[in-house]
A and B are shown apart, each in its own frame.
Chain A
Amino acid sequence: MLDLFHDDSHRALAATAARFVDTNIRPYAEAWEEAGSFPSDLAVRAGAAGLLGPTYPESVGGGGGDVFHGLVVAEALVRGGSVGTAMGLGSHAIALPPILALGTDAQKERFVRPVVAGTRVAALAITEPSGGSDVARVRTRAVRDGDHYVVSGQKTYITSGGRADYVVTAVRTGAPDSGHAGLSLLVIERGTPGFTSGPPLRKMGWWASDTTELFFDDCRVPAANLIGAENFGFYAIMANFAQERLLIAATCVAMAAEAIRLTERHVREREAFGRRIGDFQVIRHRLAEMRTREAEARSFVAVVAERHRRGEDVTAWVAMAKNAAVSACSFVTDAAVQLHGGLGYMRECGVERLYRDARLFAIGGGTTEIMNEIIHRFAPTSR
């Protein structure tokens, strides 16, 4: 279980996150999902509660916690009932770590601190119309011109693309055929002439989160916004994936738990053929399977997170944990819809949304297939 590795500080933070979610998200979750966005001051409130950077260093306003503090908050946010809100509110979780790892103190002060406080929004932009899995194919170009880069190109499917003040953008600084070795990370700021974002893309799930295209049209970006060394962007992106994927995995586990909770309640109340449907053995067994899948994923994610906390190289483990959690979440949310019958297909029903929201996790943060490639490449070979 995840909480096997928790101490009092994790429990206290969980209580804080639960209280925040109960008062600031849950009552509005459905309305925000239908409206396709959440109020921008939610981030300010979350920042004030210390929920936007629990694992970041205190020197940038973070909580100074470990990976489990991050997972505790991710789980609590799911219980707010709008995964889209959780993802939109957390878009910086993939954008800031490269700055924290490789940025200068000045960059951390400018780009990290206000985001952790909730007064600015950060996004990570890697995916392009030409492809997301194959990061080496990034075509958006950045050409050095004095103390600026001139950026031209396009990104797509960017979480918080419409809101972001700072977009940590993968750009090609090397030759067109330089592959992995010619990528860099540049922070492109809202308001920079030539930088625009498209309207919100219409999606299967994650409705409250805004996902857009980004366009860079001869956009002049100060060279001071380069994160780390030129042409080392690929490694900066890769270095961060363990924590991001663990967060995704914990989110999936929490969604499965939420689907189980809603389903348990439903089968206790719903009647058919003269009894509560929860009294049919086939339904009881299905729920037992759902619980087992959730518990399996939860335990595995916890163990991998603990290995990560101990500083082990968990590249392959994390990819396995993501796939396992995504698979459990897909199975559980699908079964939850089934056990709800027609109601499970209705927009008014929580499991309908969870089912739609779950689908993305096999695609975002690295697809299941890409995870399998990583497992193949990095798993210790069996004797």
Chain B
Amino acid sequence: MKIGVCVKSTPDTAITRFKYTSGNDGIDAAQVKFTVNPYDEFAVEEAARMKEAHGGEVVAVTVGDAGAGKVLRETLAVGVDRGVHVDAVNTDSLATARLLAAVARSEGFGVLFCGKVAVDDQASAVPAMVAELLGWPHVSVVTAFSTDGATFTASRAVGGGVEEVVTGALPVVITAERGLNEPRYQKLKDIMAAKKKVVGVVTPESLGVSAADLAPVVTFSAYADPPERPKGRVIPGDAAEAARELVRLLRDEAKVL
């Protein structure tokens, strides 16, 4: 079975300081170090494990510019056999979803793993759209997954310690939650072997997706920083007195009590 996994190139939030483009309508990508979206790493790992258990081929797909294609290569050292880089601009979630769905259809994936959210736009929209476009079921925020090759069982942590177990028939779109697995390390041996693996570059046209299909339905008008956090306040005095004052402030000023 071919196992698909969607990979987005997102800013490395650990080291990146964001700057806006001059019109405040985007992030200045030149200032950013991109890496694999952290939740997609769980998706990649799950795909790799599924292949190890059942055989098949793991194909990672990304939509984006040449930089995204380069980030996609990182997954070739952690269990992905082949990459597909759709050379296109990420305009909005629906356009991206159309391209990913077209790849899933032409490759004939049995399962498509995605991260539950991309840490840049935080939209969580693409996987559900892909499933809808394909007519496949979609299970989100999955923390455990298994399959026998025809059907699947997926668990979702729905809050309050409650676990929801979903079963169904393949093909399916699964989005990975933290805890689904522990992504493996890129070992040098695999890093070297990855150099020989292929990332195929495809265009929207070759996938049969027209410019009209890709016309954005969402436009981004402006970005702004959240308001700066006001300075903290120290309440002097002995503990009992300070506690009384704290309660008064929480009630009268912050109005949270």
Interface centre among A48, A50, A64, A69 (most CB of B within 10 A): A50
Q: Which residue of B lies closest to A56 (CB)?
A: B188
Interface residue count on the A side (C-beta < 8 Å): 19
Contact A64-B192, Cβ < 8 Å, known A12-B74, A12-B77: yes
Complex alpha-carbon distance, A9 and B186, angstroms:
10
Instruction: Indicate if the CB atoms of B189 and A16 lie closer than 8 Å.
Output: no
The reply to whether A65 and B185 form a contact with Cβ atoms under 8 Å apart is no
| A16 and B187 within 8 A (CB) | yes
Interface string of B178-193 (1 = CB under 8 A from A): 0000000111111110
Give the chain A neighbours of B191 by CB distance below 8 A: 8-9, 12-13
CB distance from B67 to the nearest CB of A (A): 14
B195 within 8 Å of A (CB atoms): yes
Cβ < 8 Å to B, chain A residues 1-45: 8-9, 12-13, 15-16, 19-20
B10-37: CB near A (< 8 Å → 1, else 0) gives: 0000000000000000000000000000
Total number of B residues with any Cβ neighbor in A under 8 Å: 11
List, in ascending order, chain B residues with CB within 8 A of A205's CB: none
Chain B contacts of A62 at CB under 8 A? 189
Pairwise interchain contact A50-B192, C-beta atoms closer than 8 A? no
Contact B185 A19 (CB under 8 A): yes
Tell me which residues from 40 to 99 in chain A have a Cβ below 8 Å from any Cβ of chain B: 48-51, 54, 58, 62-65, 69
A-B contact count (CB 8 A): 40
A64 touches B186 (CB 8 A): no
CB–CB A64/B185 < 8 A: no
Minimum CB–CB distance from A12 to chain B (whole Å) comes to 5
B189 x A50 contact (CB < 8 A): yes
Residues of the B chain whose Cβ atoms lie less than 8 Å from the Cβ of A13: 186, 188, 191
Quick check: B189 and A49 within 8 Å, CB to CB? no
A50 touches B187 (CB 8 A): yes
Q: Which residues of A contact B189 (CB under 8 A)?
A: 50, 58, 62-64
- Chain B residues with CB under 8 Å of A20's CB are 185
Q: What separation, in Å, do the CA atoms of A20 and B74 have in the docked complex?
A: 17
Once A9-B195, A12-B74, A12-B77 are accepted as A-B contacts, the answer to whether A54 and B186 lie under 8 Å apart by CB is no
| Closest residue of B by beta carbon distance from A55 | B188
In the bound assembly, the distance between CA atoms of A19 and B187 in angstroms comes to 12
A49 partner residues in chain B, CB cutoff 8 A: 185, 187
Bound complex: CA of A51 vs CA of B190, how far in Å? 13
Residue pair A63, B186 in contact (C-beta under 8 Å)? no
Question: Which chain B residue lies CB-closest to A45?
Answer: B185
Q: Which residues of A contact B188 (CB under 8 A)?
A: 9, 13, 50, 54, 63-65, 69
User: Which residues of chain B are near A16, meaning CB under 8 Å?
Assistant: 185-187
Chain B residues with Cβ below 8 Å from A58 are 189
A residues touching B (Cβ–Cβ < 8 Å)?
8-9, 12-13, 15-16, 19-20, 48-51, 54, 58, 62-65, 69
- Sample 24 A-B pairs with CB under 8 A, ordered by A number: A8-B191, A9-B191, A9-B192, A9-B195, A12-B74, A12-B77, A12-B186, A12-B191, A16-B185, A16-B186, A16-B187, A20-B185, A49-B185, A49-B187, A50-B185, A50-B187, A50-B189, A51-B185, A63-B187, A63-B189, A64-B188, A64-B192, A65-B192, A69-B188
